[in-house]
Structure formats: C-alpha cells, structure tokens
Structure 1
Amino acid sequence: MQALSSVERGYDLLAPKFDHTPFRTPETVLDATVAALAELGPFEDGLDVCCGTGAGLLALRPLCAGRVTGVDFSTGMLEKAREAHPYASWVRADARALPFAGGFDLAVSFGALGHFLPAERPALFAGVHRALRPGGVFALPIGTPPPVTSLAHWVLLGFDVAMRVRNLVWRPPFVMYYRTTPLTAVRDDLEAAGFTVTGVPGRFGILLARRA
C-alpha cells in the first residue's frame, strides 16, 4: 500500500513503524552532525526540514539555546514527532514552499533529498535560505556514494531503476531516488541559492551552508 501511494500518503502509513525501520536517521549521522556544528555555535533557534518523526531534533536540541521546530508535510509523521518530542514546535508544510522568514539560526535536514527531483532543489534551498537569519547555517549530511565495485552500488542503482519504472506506469508518483543527489550538484544548487558552502570530510559528506 505504501509503495503504491503518493509520498505524503506513503509516509502517513509508514509513520507508526518508521522508527523501527532502517530509514530512520542513525545515531552515528546525528552525532557526526552535532560534532561538525558544535564549533560554529552558539545557535539560538533551530529548524529540522523534512523532520519525519523528529530524529533530527536530537541533534538540534543540544546545539540550540532557543526553540526548535520541525516541518514536514506528512500528518502521520508529525503526530509521531509530537509524541516523541513534546518540547518542540511542529509545522505541516511542503518543503518546496517553506512558510518561514528569517526566524532561525540553524537548519538541518536528514535523508530527505531523495524525495526531491533535481529541478525542485532550488526552491527547497531558497526556502531554507529565506528561513535563516543572516549568518545562519544549514547542515546537510549526504552519504558518500558507494564504489561501483560494491554490492551497495548495484542495490541502490536497482532501487532507482525500479522506482523510475513504477513512476512511469503508476500514479500518483512516489519520488524517492538514491542517485540524484551527488555532492557537487547539491553544492552548486546551494551556492546558487545564496549560500557559502564548505564541506566536512568523512563518511557522511556533511555540507555546511552559511547565509551571508
């Protein structure tokens, strides 16, 4: 049922069990992000873009002295996030049209880029840029692509091919691709949105984008 649904409906259905699946952001990625950001603070208010059930709040909370907010377009995911993190604020919105302006010092997003086609990234990044105060930072961990000789490479390629075939023959589409977000292309889109971008070397390929 999830696979034949829209992205929004699919995540509404998945929400009750999402934290028990491999798709939930692992602690290693959250910890690496906190470590990369710790020296750039202090931060006041933080935003988790495409927050899902709220795992990213575990990274925002120790970094931000003020309020922390999650935004997602799945009602089901937001309901689980509210249960797990009652101290936070939650907003239902499409990340391609974020309803914020200059209210945050730090934004993060974990594992969501595959749900946006490359042509949609400029709107996403422009919205994050608009949501940040001058000097604000957007942290975007992106997994390093596995080598072509690895099993993981072919598994991800096979998944993307299967998704493209599914979206050709079935509506509504379910956008989720693993091979549409190379680091260089994402960096270029961030810079086009007005960010100054630096990278943190390591397994997760964390991009740090600062608004001037």
Structure 2
Amino acid sequence: LGASYSLFLNSQYNLNLHVPSFTIVGMVALFAGAAKAPLSTLILIAEMTGGYELLVPAMIAVFISYFFSGDRSIFPSQVDTRLDSPAHMDEFGFYLLEKLCVRDYMTPKPITVFPDQTLKEVEEILAKHLIGGLPVVSKGRLVGIITKSDIQKVPAEVRAYKRVYEVMTTNLITVTEEDTLADVLRIFSSKGIGRLPVVKHKGSSEVVGIITRADIGKAIREWKK
C-alpha cells in the first residue's frame, strides 16, 4: 500500500518520494491495524531501519490504521489483557476473588437509559461520564444493555433518530450482589465482555449496580498491597 501510494504521487505530481520508506510505513500501518498491535509495530520500524527517521510518519499512519480498523483483528480469539485470559487467572489471585463479593466492588445505582432514547443522547452520556456501556431500563425492569461499540456500528448521521431499543443487547447475562468476583471474571473471560449488570437476586430484573473489568482490577491491586 505504501509503495503504491508513493509511486502514484511520484507519477501524478512529478515528486521524488522515497519509495522504500513509504513501503515500510505502509507495511507497519497495515499490520498495526490488522493485529491490533500499534506499539509493537512502532518498535519494529526502528529495528528494521536502524534509526528513528520514520518514527513520526509511522506513528501517524499507525494511528489512522488502528482507528479506522475498529474492533476487527486477524486474531479473533486474542483477549485484550492478561486479566481476560483463563490461562492467567491464577496469576491474579483467583482463589482470593472467590472470597470477594460483587456488592463490595460494584458501582451502585448506575446511570441507566430508556429504550426510546436516541443513540445520540446515550453517546453524550457515555462521553460525559467516561464509561463504555449502560443498562437499559423500562418501568424499573432491566431490558437490555447498550455499549459504545453498539453505537459506533450505526452511522453518525442517523444516531439522532435511531433509538436504543433498535441496537441494544437483549440477550442479557447478569450477576447478583452475592456472586463472587471469581464468578464475574469467569463470565468476562468466557463471553469476551467487560461489564455486567448486577441485579438484586437471581431471577430479578431490578438493577442495583454494574461491575466492570476495572472493578476486578481494583480488587486485585488492593490485594497486592
């Protein structure tokens, strides 16, 4: 891609761009987006060229590639962090998480949205509070969950008209206040998700909190102290 782009510019605008440099930058940008490994590819370009002359253009190209590739990756089974990997559970004091209750680490009384709100409204709430997802409640009952990635799948120009109920996840997985953090971590790892609504008790649809991977991380950090 980089080589083709530089050759095109040279032929169309009579430039004298260095084709090998464009080739290397294009290569690392492609891999960064496809493998979701931006930092590794930036290190790679320094090793390949033996210097840092291409680092800045590579950073720009890698950012563009990483941003526009979204959640897609050539490694569909790759987890985001070691905390999400079942193979590394023991490293994080998994036995300790069996003793810790959700109620002590969840965010109580979370912000909720309604099914008939627009995606634009929800997007603004997520941005304001720096959160990635919200429970959807109707008449006091949990009916779904909507995340930033759900909204990003919808074209920006129609988010002011599209309603939450049209894109929210309704096949819900919930935990209770009495469940352990180990239970939550198992669900996170097996389902590839990062947050769960917390209900009052099994079979209930009353939302009392929300628990995220960050909450698990907080518990682990406290334990390590």
Say yes or no: TM over 0.5: no
Question: Into which bin does the TM-score normalised by the smaller protein fall?
Answer: under 0.3
What is the TM-score when the length of structure 2 is the normalising length?
0.21
Q: Determine which structure has the larger strand proportion and give its number.
A: 1
Q: Determine which structure has the larger helix proportion and give its number.
A: 2
Q: Which has the higher contact order (CA 8 A, sep 6+)?
A: 1
Higher Cα radius of gyration = 2
